[in-house]
Structure 1
């Protein structure tokens, strides 16, 4: 999966267009592996919606079969 494909997937999950993906530390994402967290295994970071809204998000594999997703607004 590319960064662009992940951005599109997150846009669909949130229901609003994602403009930018950032690491948990707020750094620019160059590869999807920049978002990987080994324990608990999954992906996560920050993002900015097209309208400028900042959010945090997590995507993790549960039961080896289904992906769980969570997002929350970040205070600016």
Structure 2
């Protein structure tokens, strides 16, 4: 999976266009490995929507079979 593919997948899950993916520290994610987390196995970081709002997100594999997703607004 590429950053672009993940961006599209997250956009479908949220129902809004995702413009940019960031690491948990807020740095631009350049590679999928920048977003990987070993435990629980999955990915996470921050994302920016087309309207400029930011969300913290997590996408993790549960039971080795299905992906769970959670996102919440980041308030500045």
What interval of TM-score do these two structures reach, taking the shorter chain for normalisation?
over 0.9
| TM-score, structure 2 normalization | 0.97
Runs of 4+ aligned structure 1 residues displaced above 2 Å come to none
> Which deviations, in whole Å up to 9, do the C-alpha atoms of 1:49-69 show, x marking residues without a partner?
011011000000001110000
Q: Structure 2 unaligned segments of length 5 or more: list them.
A: none
| TM-score, structure 1 normalization | 0.97
Is 1:25 aligned to 2:25, yes or no? yes
Aligned residues: 76
Aligned-residue RMSD, C-alpha: 0.5
Q: Structure 1 unaligned segments of length 5 or more: list them.
A: none
Q: What corresponds to 1:60 in structure 2? A: 60
Listed as ranges, the matches of 1:6-25 within 5 Å are: 6-25=6-25
Is 1:71 aligned to 2:50, yes or no? no
